[in-house]
Every structure is written in structure tokens, then in C-alpha cells.
Structure 1
Amino acid sequence: MRCCEANSCNGYGTQAYRSCINITRASHSKTGVRREGTVDKISSERRSENMRSIRSSNTKPELIVRRLVHSYGYRFRLHRKDLPGKPDLVFPSRKAVIFVHGCFWHMHGCPSVRVPKSNIDYWKPKLERNQERDLQSRSSLERLGWKVLTVWECEVKDLNALERKLKNFLSPLQPPP
């Protein structure tokens, strides 16, 4: 197995391979075969396809929260574009919104979140912007008089705790007169 079509090293683990890796890392950064400092196991085209397929709405955690809230008898609107941050669930009569955030994309800080080691110059600012946008959306909604709840992807795993959290958030809120 060769590390690069352009070089004829004998394969992984050999001295020629290690030399070839050092030479070709920079040249492969655009093709996705090798990136500086780390090895990406898939091509950049495949990585782009994977990233494009990640949805921002109707995610599995969001669907679980929606099913639970609906089963309690609450009715809601989805992804209202006229509200800051486009909340996932909106309860207009209660002036309440729920955001369902993915732990990675919104940098929750739970143990399952790891910042990518490759392409740090791209990921770090992107994930920081997501956090800043979340704070701005939350504060804008609160200034407008909305109650805001954030449900994290990792919280969806414990349905009993999630049920308590949702009921505590929604039950004391009475519709305005």
C-alpha cells in the first residue's frame, strides 16, 4: 500500500513512507488525502458531502422533544423566522420558546464534545460564532419578553430528566389573559 500515487514508497511503517508523508502533507491539503498535523481518513469531497447532509432542523433530538411536548397536550409553532435565532419550538400563547442544540455545534461542554484537531483555523472561529449567536438570540428574546429554554442533545438521552425539565418550563407558564 502506498501513501501517495506520486511517490513510490513501500507502504505504511517504512522509512520511505515516513519521508513521503513529510514531503506530501502540504501538497495533499487541498485533495483531502493528508492534512497538516493529522490524517483525514476520507477525501475532502466526501467530507463536504457529509457536512452538507447535516440538518439544522428536524434533527433526531428535536423530534424527540417535539413528540414529548406534543404528548403533554401543548401545541407549538416550528422555526419562526420572525423571532431572533429562529427557535425550534415556539409557544406563542405562553410567550415561550425552546431551542434544541447539538452539543458539538453549540459547544455545550459535555464530555462527548471534542473540537476537531484538523483545520483549527476554520473550526474554532465558527464554533465561537455559534456560541455568540446563541447568546445574542437568547438575550434578544428575553428583552422581548419571551421565556427561553435550551435543551441539549446530550439531555435527550435521559428521557425522565428531560420530561421533568420540559414540564417545569411549560407548566407554570399561563397563557396571557
Structure 2
Amino acid sequence: MDTEKWVPPAGSWASSAGRRRNMQAIRSRDTKPEQLIRRLVHAQGLRYRVAAKPLSNLRRTADMVFRPAKVAVFIDGCYWHGCPEHYVPPKTNPGYWSDKVARNMARDRDTNQQLADAGWTVLRFWEHESPEACADQIVLAVSRLRQTRNGS
């Protein structure tokens, strides 16, 4: 049996090896809600970029980007983005994680503003929302904006 004390790698906030494994398993892209919504949008004939930067000078990526229509779609996780319905403050290291979520929320607002200032439409959905309803809203917005931008 290994009796050595676990030491986190330099720069890691993990409090244990188990916590580190758990945190490493959290996906930043290609989550199940994202994949389902993408599949539904694709089935309706729309094509898009996945995990792409809408603006080259913005170091942030959207889950789906429709460049000609200038639509950026984000499917936000309830915990990481502070969902008003489902966010539950952590019991372990609450100061750090609550601050992290608050910074994520502030970054989301800043991203929305920067994209809007550049003429983009931002669509944000929570992971718990109906994938079908999200896909319908995306298709409607992209189709409307494509017609507007093409002068139809």
C-alpha cells in the first residue's frame, strides 16, 4: 500500500488525486448537450464551425459559429456558468469555486458585449434546456439573419 502523501502538480488547485482526476474529466467542448443540439441543427441543413473564435482578436470560442450570418451560439453548463435555477455553491473550497463561477459569468457578459459591438448575434442556452427548442431557435435566427444580410 502506498503511504506517501499525494502532492499536487505545480499550479494545480486539486486537493487530492481523486479530485484532480474528476476535474480533468470535465469536458470544455463536445458535451452531450452540445452534440445533441449540433446534430439537430445539422439535420435541418445548417452548417457551422465548432468551438471556433467568432472574432479573431477575441480569445474566446463559441460552441457553434455561423460566420456569414454572424451568429455565435453558446451552450452553458449550469454549474460553470451560474445557472439561476441549478447552480449550487460548492461545499469544498467555496471561496475559490464561487469566485471562479463569478469570473465565468463576468467573462460571458463581456463576450456578449464584444460580439454585439462587432455586429454579431449571441445565442446562449443552458445545458438543461430542451435541445429541440434550442435547435429551433438557432435555425430561426440564422435563417432570418442570412436573409437580412443577403438583402432578401
- When normalised by structure 1's length, the TM-score is 0.69
8 Å CA contact retained: 1:83, 1:141: no
Q: Tell me how far apart the structure 1 counterparts of residues 36 and 92 of structure 2 sit (CA, whole Å).
A: 32
Aligned equivalent of 1:169: 141
Greater relative CO (CA pairs within 8 A, separation 6+): 2
Per the alignment, in what secondary structure is the counterpart of residue 108 of structure 1? Answer: coil
In the alignment, residue 122 of structure 2 is paired with which amino acid? Answer: V
Q: CA RMSD in A?
A: 2.3
Give the deviation of 1:125 after TM superposition.
Answer: 0.9
Q: For 1:143-164, what per-residue CA distance to the aligned partner results, in whole angstroms no more than 9, with x for missing partners?
A: 0001110011010xx3443343
The runs of 4+ residues in structure 1 deviating greater than 4 Å are none
- When normalised by structure 2's length, the TM-score is 0.80
Which one of the candidate residues 55, 60, 65 is aligned to 2:32?
Answer: 60
**Residue 90 and residue 130 in structure 1: after superposition, are their counterparts in 2 closer, same or farther (change >3 A)?**
same
Which one of the candidate residues 85, 88, 91 is aligned to 1:117?
Answer: 91
Q: Which runs of 5+ in 2 are unaligned?
A: 1-5, 8-14
8 Å CA contact retained: 2:50, 2:65: yes
Q: Alignment length, in residue pairs?
A: 136
Higher normalized strand content (fraction of residues) = 2
Aligned equivalent of 2:73: 98
8 Å CA contact retained: 1:77, 1:90: yes
8 Å CA contact retained: 1:94, 1:174: yes
**Residue 164 and residue 83 in structure 1: after superposition, are their counterparts in 2 closer, same or farther (change >3 A)?**
farther
Give the deviation of 1:47 after TM superposition.
Answer: 1.0
Give the deviation of 1:174 after TM superposition.
Answer: 1.6
8 Å CA contact retained: 2:66, 2:142: no
Aligned equivalent of 1:136: 110
Written as runs of structure 1 = structure 2, the 5 A alignment for 1:26-45 is 44-45=16-17
